[in-house]
Amino acid sequence: FCGAITYIGNGPNFMVKSVAESDGVPMPSFGRYIGYAFTLLVPVLAAMAMIFVGESWLVRGLGIALALGLAFLSLVRIRRAGLDEAVADFSGNE
């Protein structure tokens, strides 16, 4: 069930991390990455499992509600990041 999504320690992730760090992009430590994975990926995987594997309509409905809530939170984060970027551009800070 979505093995490519759940597999954290694959080689391409470390390659991307290495290239990003060599370009000066701040990257999270492994522990922080695990924290991000639990806070961001586990709810998505739970929603997918509830929608596609859940046997009752109640579980599927809760999965859809969870997915909609996660989509809303993502839009809020994107908007907040855009506002932060606009403030940085306006003030001249990078």
**What residues contact 51, with CB distance under 8 A and at least 6 apart?**
60, 63, 64, 67
pLDDT at 17: 80
- Taking each helix axis as running N to C, give the angle between helix 42-52 and helix 57-91, from 0 to 180 degrees, rounded to the nearest 10: 150
pLDDT band at residue 15 using 50, 70 and 90 as cut-offs: confident
SS3 at position 23: coil
pLDDT at 78: 86
Residue located via tokens 């760090």: 21
pLDDT at 94: 54
pLDDT band at residue 92 using 50, 70 and 90 as cut-offs: low
SS3 at position 38: helix
pLDDT at 35: 87
On whether the CB atoms of residues 51 and 8 are closer than 8 A, the answer is: no
pLDDT at 1: 56
pLDDT in tens, 24-75: 888 888 888 888 888 888 899 899 999 999 999 999 999 999 999 999 998 8
**What residues contact 59, with CB distance under 8 A and at least 6 apart?**
50
